[in-house]
Amino acid sequence: MVPKRAIVRPPSRSFSRCISSHPLRNTASAKKAKGQHSAYCTTLGELGLELLTMKAEDAYPDSCFVEDTAVVHNNKAIIARMAAKSRQGEEDTVESLLGQYIPVRRISEPGTLEGGDVIHLPDRLISGVSQRTNVEGVFQMSDWLEVQVDAVRDPYIVHLKSHVTYLSGKTIVCRKSYADHPALEGYELLIVDDNEAYAANTLTIGNVVIMPAGFERTAETVSEAGYEVICLDVSEFEKCEGALTCLSILF
């Protein structure tokens, strides 16, 4: 189903204090990130989405990565319980906004869940059990959203969608390390080379796939699979270990 709305939140003045082990993290620029975020939002609007733009949150350096705060499915939302203490509280304003449109419920302790781990397929969800999401969080999500959730356990990753994203139909983009995972069985896999690993995170709206700029081989592979490709510069967000899907909640 093509989404109608996108919740977005621009980078704050504290953006450069984001949680990140990226070697260029100390060069992250809030000013440049705001420009890249503006171009991202313009693209979403041009693709027909109604933008629900929240205020920047200086108290939360990572708060522009709004995807992590909630998962929407079956016209309901589960509100995240963030694993990183510095991010706990980002979800409050998102809960208030989503609650104006659909029923919401929070993940309760000891569960943790972040939306960057959750992949939406036509018949089910796939969720990473990772550094940020635990089994209890996945169970609570499945129960409230009334959907089957297949778990992909990998304690070494932050979020699954940095490695695997769904395009449409039976097509998935993923890194080689996930190509043989049983949760992806039956799908056509467009494999991302290790030297273009960041391109594994894509955002599909209709037949358009938004991709990070600078990864020509992966962009060509996606284009040859029949999609219109739009490449955006999100290099400042990469420094904060965020990507395209992280910047919005679509519903």
Reported as a single tens digit per residue, the pLDDT across 2-44 is 899 999 999 999 999 999 999 999 899 999 999 999 999 999 9
Active-site residue, from 37, 64, 73, 159: 159
Write the DSSP symbol of residue 154: -
Q: Please tell me whether residue 187 adopts helix, strand or coil conformation.
A: coil
Segment 145-176, tens digit of pLDDT: 999 999 999 999 999 999 999 999 999 999 99
Exposure letters 76-89 (e unless 16+ CB within 10 A, then b) = bbbbbbbbeeebee
Taking the C-alpha atoms of residue 189 and residue 55, their distance in angstroms, rounded to an integer, is 37
CA atoms within 13 A on the CB side of 184: 24
pLDDT tens per residue, range 33-74: 999 999 999 999 999 999 999 999 999 999 999 999 999 999
- pLDDT tens-digit readout, 79-90: 999 999 999 999
Catalytic residue among 18, 174, 240, 246: 246
Taking the C-alpha atoms of residue 58 and residue 12, their distance in angstroms, rounded to an integer, is 5
Q: Assess whether 246 carries a catalytic annotation.
A: yes
Q: Is the pTM of this model over 0.75?
A: yes
Cα–chain-centroid distance for residue 110? 23
What tens digit of pLDDT does each residue of 189-244 get? 999 999 999 999 999 999 999 999 999 999 999 999 999 999 999 999 999 999 99
Report how far residue 28's alpha carbon sits from residue 152's, in angstroms, rounded to the nearest whole number.
31
Q: Which pLDDT score is estimated for 2?
A: 82
Q: What's the CA gap between 185 and 189, in Å, rounded?
A: 9
Fold of 5-250: L-arginine/glycine Amidinotransferase; Chain A (3.75.10)
